[in-house]
């Protein structure tokens, strides 16, 4: 998508009364640039009086050139729905954000193998410990970690992912250039250096309570599944879990004792059949087709961390987890030269992470 087409899609997304569904429908009728430039009569013939009125009003109110300039000045970037690098999993939900503003790096290949980890702000010592433990193990198995940067379980998940050398994405309840809450500024800065902070809210949006339930669908939408660690009966983490169910994504939950206040919401998810009870990391892995080696003679567990996998090797493993493919197809998917990918595969084979089958296709053996 060229810069001009992207700019006009950005403008269209900012018009009041045009949500995700309407945005997608309009782009089936015409291009955003044409919709921006047509006369009122021509617009009315194409999209009807109601939408034509909204678009005309939006065109008078929105200065696209200034909007783009403000975004650049704030040192953030943006992806529009339909753009090549827009996260695939997120694009598949019913109401994906029309624009995703971000700071850091959006790595589509890493995002295709993501788990969201959510929970209460009023966490317990056990909740914190299990969050750190499960997060690090998921990172070691090649998963990226999605959460909301809220104080408590969310922040702990981000921090554990960073400590394990993983890729993590924080979904904010306000503009991407402002950490929310402000007290998590240091974690916000660390995430930007090796992951990304994202938001659907334009610059200047006030951070209000209603923003957070809305952003929760993005947390689950970016993920293959959502893991709820600790949540009371009214926790916002339950909204994320409900969004995951509606998006036909997996939901996992850590069981709690009956008298644990912070576990009542989690236990209810399990009781109602909305979440799969997990007792170990293997309960999550088997849902995504991972081979679990339970042999007693395996002297050392092979993990991405112990094998010192670099970023490109990690991306290759993420793609190969989906299906076994040959080197040429992997090079195309990763957008790299075949000679570079050939060297990557040889290195991974030496490390014992991948193998080449009789048909010439590469597969993960971790």
Tokens of 18: 């045009």
pLDDT of residue 98: 96
161 preceded by cis ω (within 30°)?
no
Give the strands of the sheet with 114-118, arranged side by side.
77-80, 99-104, 196-199, 168-171, 144-147, 114-118, 225-228, 250-253, 276-277
Task: Say yes or no: do domains 108-288 and 311-364 share a fold.
Answer: no
Angle between helices 3-13 and 49-61 (to 10 degrees): 110
Total Cβ atoms within 10 A of residue 325: 17
**Arch. (CATH architecture) of 311-364:** Orthogonal Bundle (1.10)
Tokens of 366: 């971790």
Give residue-wise pLDDT tens across range 159-175: 999 999 999 999 999 99
Give residue-wise pLDDT tens across range 50-77: 999 999 999 999 999 999 999 999 999 9
Give residue-wise pLDDT tens across range 128-146: 888 999 999 999 988 999 9
- Locate the domains of the chain by residue range: 3-73, 108-288, 311-364
Distances (CA, A) of 76 to 14, 104, 110, 202, 322: 17, 8, 20, 11, 31
Q: What is the CATH number of domain 3-73?
A: 1.10.150
Tokens of 239: 């909204």
Give residue-wise pLDDT tens across range 167-197: 999 999 999 999 988 888 999 999 999 999 9
Q: What is the pTM (predicted TM-score) of this model? A: 0.78
3-state SS record for 105-121? CCCHHHHCCEEEEECCC
Q: What is the CATH number of domain 108-288?
A: 3.40.50.450
Q: If 0-12 CB within 10 Å is exposed, 13-18 middle and 19+ buried, where does residue 60 land? A: exposed
Give residue-wise pLDDT tens across range 218-276: 999 999 999 999 988 888 888 999 999 999 999 999 888 777 777 888 999 999 999 99
């Amino acid at each position: 998508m060229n810069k001009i087409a992207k700019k006009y899609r950005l403008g269209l997304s900012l018009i009041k009364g045009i949500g995700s569904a309407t945005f997608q429908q309009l782009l089936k009728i015409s291009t955003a640039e044409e919709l921006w430039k047509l006369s009122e009569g021509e617009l009315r013939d194409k999209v009807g009086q109601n939408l034509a009125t909204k678009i005309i009003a939006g065109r008078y109110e929105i200065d696209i050139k200034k909007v783009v300039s403000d975004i650049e000045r704030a040192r953030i970037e943006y992806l529009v729905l339909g753009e090549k690098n827009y996260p695939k999993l997120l694009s598949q939900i019913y109401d994906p954000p029309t624009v995703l503003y971000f700071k850091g790096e959006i790595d589509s290949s890493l995002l295709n193998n993501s788990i969201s980890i959510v929970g209460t702000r009023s966490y317990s010592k056990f909740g914190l410990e299990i969050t750190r433990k499960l997060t690090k193990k998921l990172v070691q198995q090649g998963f990226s970690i999605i959460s909301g940067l809220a104080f408590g379980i969310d922040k702990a998940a981000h921090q554990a992912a960073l400590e394990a050398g993983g890729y993590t994405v924080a979904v904010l309840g306000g503009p991407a250039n402002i950490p929310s809450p402000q007290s998590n500024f240091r974690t916000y800065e660390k995430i930007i250096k090796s992951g990304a902070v994202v938001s659907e809210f334009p610059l200047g949006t006030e951070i209000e309570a209603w923003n957070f339930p809305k952003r929760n669908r993005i947390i689950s939408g970016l993920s293959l599944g959502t893991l709820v660690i600790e949540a009371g009966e009214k926790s916002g983490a339950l909204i994320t879990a409900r969004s995951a169910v509606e998006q036909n994504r997996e939901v996992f939950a850590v069981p709690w004792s009956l008298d644990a206040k912070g576990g009542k919401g989690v236990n209810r998810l399990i009781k109602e059949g909305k979440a799969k009870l997990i007792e170990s990391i293997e309960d999550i892995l088997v849902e995504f087709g991972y081979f679990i080696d339970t042999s007693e003679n395996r002297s050392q567990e092979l993990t991405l961390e112990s094998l010192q996998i670099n970023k490109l090797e990690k991306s290759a493993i993420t793609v190969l987890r989906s299906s076994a493919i040959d080197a040429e197809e992997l090079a195309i998917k990763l957008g790299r030269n075949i000679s570079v990918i050939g060297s990557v595969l040889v290195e991974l084979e030496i490390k014992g992470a991948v193998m080449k089958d009789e048909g010439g296709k590469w597969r993960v053996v971790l």
